[in-house]
Structure 1
């Protein structure tokens, strides 16, 4: 570890201790935790394409991108659950016969909760893109326009498409709006918007895969892992701790613990200051544990919990491969798709990214204990995991590929740069993959199809395809190391 890294670690530890000791109230907490699984705001984790240096000797030939929609309202079931829970707690708060408990709460936090009002428009706009979500995609479109303006002015073929949901269709419009707002001459790019398809095997192949529906989405493994989490002593202990933090005497069920977390993470995401009084009951440790539950759910529903997910993730990558092969000899092309976190998760699995040495587990992963001294197995600390949806699947997450033709020592070559959330990926060097390196990674996807979805498809080869093997060069960022230190410090405070 270098001196600079050591200093970062020491500063991280120092800030955690200072925050824990000097800022006991939520309303003026200077060290807010900002990782909330798939409800994490995009700006909390993104990079910036404008900071990526483009080689002067290269000309962009094609850009292909896959996007998750921006910030949205919670779905219908979650909306009903959070509406019911907030109504119960708010009723008790305003009942003059109920004694308010102040010993575990700051007065300002309680006041903020009492003054909070339910937004009734949520009842009729489940899963809709929010104004915040529109801004996330608009701003991304602006950054792409600034970074690749010369390419956009000369592009010859444009294709934008979204799934048939309000949140993805509107995200697409926001993206194109941002891309064209600053440069009137680019207004014609909006002509490349195509209507959603009734069946879209590029953006939602899992909807047309019966094996996925039966064995994964509604399979027993996903149910069992979440049940193991929800009934573990560690999770139930958190329920008791949260109950003691409520300003009223209310007995939370284990399902209401996550409902309260949903209310916290959605409501804060719509606040300019990224705060919600519903988050005031949660410690950093609580948020880390609940974040892990979201990761477990996505791991088994969309990720490495089933080989089926990696096969499904190959379909968009086949489209990427074919577009770049055609672009080398054809027209300059811009292709952007708008889909859901399910598809992004699957694509990252097909690429072998964010793959842990051992599977995530619903119960074992939240014990937060050190291994026994004689245990030489892989580290089981969940904070060291690579599969962290907060980092790779926030709202408005994306996978962007840029194909360029370069003049290197008088010789014409091609390079491909790959970005996840506007940051370079470990799949390619910082300067980009050579064309051969690109082929080595992506050519295997040219054979992708949905034949494996049929029940009669032989499973003997499942899990052995090249795109299921994973990549050992996936890196754990400094943020993950600091998360581990957070747990260590909190355990002794």
Structure 2
């Protein structure tokens, strides 16, 4: 998060070098990890006067799924949402991974223990220096691909196209971008707005924008190595950046909106990630009509 903020400041020095109280809005959803991410981002901007918004544990417009009763009941608490993941644990690919791990450890392991080993591997990998974590020695490259797919299935049904709520929950968050850019066009907006949330809502935003949509749903019977839906898109430090650009075109200002996913142009949107204002408005305006009525 420190590095992301530094690179943004290098890219937009005039915009971000001297932020004052009304110039910015930094908001972490409730949780220690989100607050630490926000603090890291602020450190990267190298301005000790910047303030992070206080958060509460009630309804949060940047994390609507955590208080959406129907989503919690029909998705998170519904055993059928985990059936495809359970099927994949019976697939020969997964069973071969389990066998290889047991041979390396010379002991039997449970599925929960394999998940724990996998999390110890990926959570503690030194991403900045690319320093491997010793726990990763338990896995071959094929093992990591198998466990990644198991995670993809879980994300797909819990947060994505595998349930009826993901798109609407994602729309609630995306609507905020249009509102803020309309204020900015009228010279009443912020120079920078940064929200810090969970990977779940990133997945839901992708669904709302119809990104990474496979023709066939993910299944425990078959691992498509060319699938579009990959949970790696919302990995650690994942970021979805949208910029409003005011372009000179005669006497009438021309606005363009650029989209970046993990600091790379999101080429699936508009013209290699750059939309005219009209294209952006056409895509995002329907989101303003989304309410939380479906939650309760």
Task: Tell me by how many angstroms 1:195 deviates.
Answer: 0.5
8 Å contact from structure 2 (residues 265, 273) kept in 1: no
Deviations 1:187-232 (A, max 9, x none): 54x14x2101332432210112111001111112222122112223
What's 1:452 paired with?
A: 294
If the length of structure 2 is used for normalisation, what is the TM-score? 0.92
Task: Name which structure has the greater RCO, CA cutoff 8 Å, separation 6+.
Answer: 1
Superposition deviation, residue 241 in structure 1: 2.1
- Are 1:432 and 2:268 counterparts? no
- The CA distance in 1 between the partners of 2:273 and 2:144, in whole Å, is 37
Q: How does 1:59-74 map to 2 (within 5 A)?
A: none
- Secondary structure of 1:336 counterpart: strand
**Where does residue 361 of structure 1 map in the other structure?**
219
Aligned length: 292
Once the two structures are TM-superposed, the CA of residue 270 in structure 1 deviates from its matched residue by 7.0
Change (3 A) 1:176 1:254: closer
Once residues 130 and 37 of structure 2 are traced to their aligned partners in structure 1, the CA distance between those partners, rounded to angstroms, is 23
2:236 counterpart residue number: 395
Selected match of 2:168 from 306, 311, 330:
311
- Return the offset for 1:171: 1.0
Any conservation in 1 of the 2:126–2:132 contact (CA below 8 Å)? Answer: yes
Would the aligned equivalents of 2:183 and 2:189 in 1 still touch at CA under 8 Å? no
**How far apart are the structure 2 equivalents of 1:265 and 1:321?**
35
What's the counterpart of residue 221 of structure 1?
80
Distance 2:112 2:189 in 1: 51
Kindly report the root-mean-square deviation, in angstroms, between the aligned alpha carbons of the 2 structures.
1.9
Cα shift at 1:363: 3.0
Q: After superposition, what is the alpha-carbon deviation per residue over 1:412-457, rounded to whole angstroms, capped at 9, x for unaligned?
A: 2111111111111121324721110111111111112110112xxx
Paired position in structure 2 for 1:235: 94
**Given the two structures, how large is their TM-score scaled by the length of structure 1?**
0.56
2:204 is aligned with 1:346:
yes
Residues 50-449 of structure 1 aligned to structure 2 (within 5 Å) = 137-152=1-16, 153=18, 156-179=22-45, 181=46, 187-188=48-49, 190-191=50-51, 193-246=52-105, 249-269=106-126, 272-333=129-190, 334-365=192-223, 382-390=224-232, 392-425=233-266, 426-430=268-272, 432-449=274-291
Inter-partner Cα distance in structure 2 for 1:407 and 1:154:
24
Q: Which has the larger radius of gyration?
A: 1
5+ long unaligned stretches in structure 1: 1-136, 366-381, 455-493
